[in-house]
Amino acid sequence: MASLYLVLNIATLLIPLSLSFDKRVNFKQYWSFLLAGITFGLFIFIPWDIAFTKIGIWGFNPTYLTGIYLFHLPIEEWMFFITIPYACVFVYEVVRAYWPRFHFLSRPKWLVVPLALLLFMAGIAKPGLYTSINFIGLSLLLLSYMVVAKPTFWGYFFITYLLISLPFLLVNGILTGSFIADEVVWYAPEHNLGIRIFTIPVEDFFYSMFLLLTVLVPYEFLKMRFGNAVQRPG
């Protein structure tokens, strides 16, 4: 199906955008902060994406694209770094609005620090560039934000990550070849662990966590600094 990647981007954005005016969540009041967070994420993930595409660590099947490119990336890939963070941060704010006293992981060090250390060691042990950069980068970000984030942030963050797992399996599954004749996005096997959950490389699950946390760092900082009555989690 031509333009399949574009359709997936639109479908990902449609429901969160339509519900952004819900009075309890009132997500539209955070759009300026979210724009800053998404922009920050673009400055990190777009150069990474361009570099990996150029050297063949991953690539895109033109059968499923509109054919519009910007700096060697399909326009749909640029949209991915807008639509996915928007949908994920929307879920994050829904969790905060409807479960404001959610105290899961009130002491997050027992999970965050071991996870970061395991990712760092795995990133060093595996020479594949996707695995190494993804795991090491995420581990450093987890440890850095562990120092500055209030403890209950992690409860909201991880429950959001769990909630987005089902749509992630569907969207990323289609992108990696589930339910369609070929892959929308292909991966060079020598640069990852070769472990797939359905058709999704296991690295993608941590890549999505990396992307979400990268966007949330400036988003939460700006809410705390300029959001007046809007407070950080906890």
Q: How far apart are CA 122 and CA 141, in angstroms?
A: 15
Residues near 182 by beta carbon (within 8 Å), at least 6 away in sequence: 61, 63, 64
From residue 154, give the alpha-carbon distance in Å to each of 96, 134, 169. 12, 20, 22
Residue 33 CB neighbours (<10 A): 21
Instruction: Return the DSSP state at 17.
Output: H
Q: Which H helix or E strand runs over 233?
A: none
- Residue 192 belongs to some domain of the structure: yes
Residue 232 lies inside a defined structural domain of this protein:
no
Type and span of the H or E element at 185: strand 185-187
Report the pLDDT value the prediction gives residue 231, as an integer from 0 to 100: 46
Instruction: Give the domain range for residue 81.
Output: 4-226
pLDDT of residue 103: 63
For position 123, what pLDDT does the model report?
95
Per-residue CA distances from 156 to 70, 78, 98, 232 (Å): 35, 27, 11, 11
For tokens 């699950």, the residue is 205
Domain count for the chain, please give it: 1
Predicted TM-score of the model (pTM): 0.93
Determine, yes or no, domain membership for 231.
Answer: no
Mean per-residue pLDDT pooled into runs of 10, the chain (234 residues): 92 93 88 97 98 97 96 97 97 89 75 95 89 97 91 89 94 96 95 95 97 96 74 42
